[in-house]
Amino acid sequence: MAPFAFGRAAGAGFWAFSLEMAAFLPAMFVLVGLFDVWVPRSVVERHVGRDSGPLAILWMVLLGTLQAGPLYGAFPVAVALWRKGTAPRNVFIYLGAFSALKIPMLTFEVAFLGWQFSLVRTAVTLPVFIALAYLLERLLPPDVTIPAEEGPATPARRG
């Protein structure tokens, strides 16, 4: 084994991952920005807010299932949803659905493991994510918020 071979392999992996992020994240941030500007807070609160009904679960599962990309692409969307008034449980359901039920991932799973396995895994995973989302929401203090965006000239960033 050549000296520093592991370091070179790690560096190559880091470089490939960095290029993937550089290609994916700008488009993701543009889409999140458009969502932030175009979708009124009242619409989000009505459909997936704290007073939303069981249909909100379906909306979050659909959003998480239909969205493509790596898991780190879900977090800007989750923050935008939270800031628009989405109930914490629905943000957690979205993250769970995104991480385990994306259509591209399901197609590979069906191809390699069969539709029976995929169906059973989905039937077990989805209720677990929903139950955990409700549990996590109950454990959160009622006044929890995501910190507001701060500009570069604010006192919190100077020190």
Per-residue pLDDT tens, the chain, 159 aa: give them.
577 888 899 999 999 988 888 887 888 788 888 888 888 999 999 999 999 999 999 999 999 999 888 888 899 999 999 999 999 999 999 999 999 999 988 999 999 999 999 999 999 999 999 999 999 999 999 888 877 665 555 454 444
Alpha carbon distance 62, 56 (integer Å) = 10
Q: What is the pTM of this model?
A: 0.80
Q: Where are the beta strands (DSSP E) in the chain?
A: none
Alpha-carbon Rg for the chain, nearest whole angstrom, is: 19
Alpha carbon distance 71, 97 (integer Å) = 11
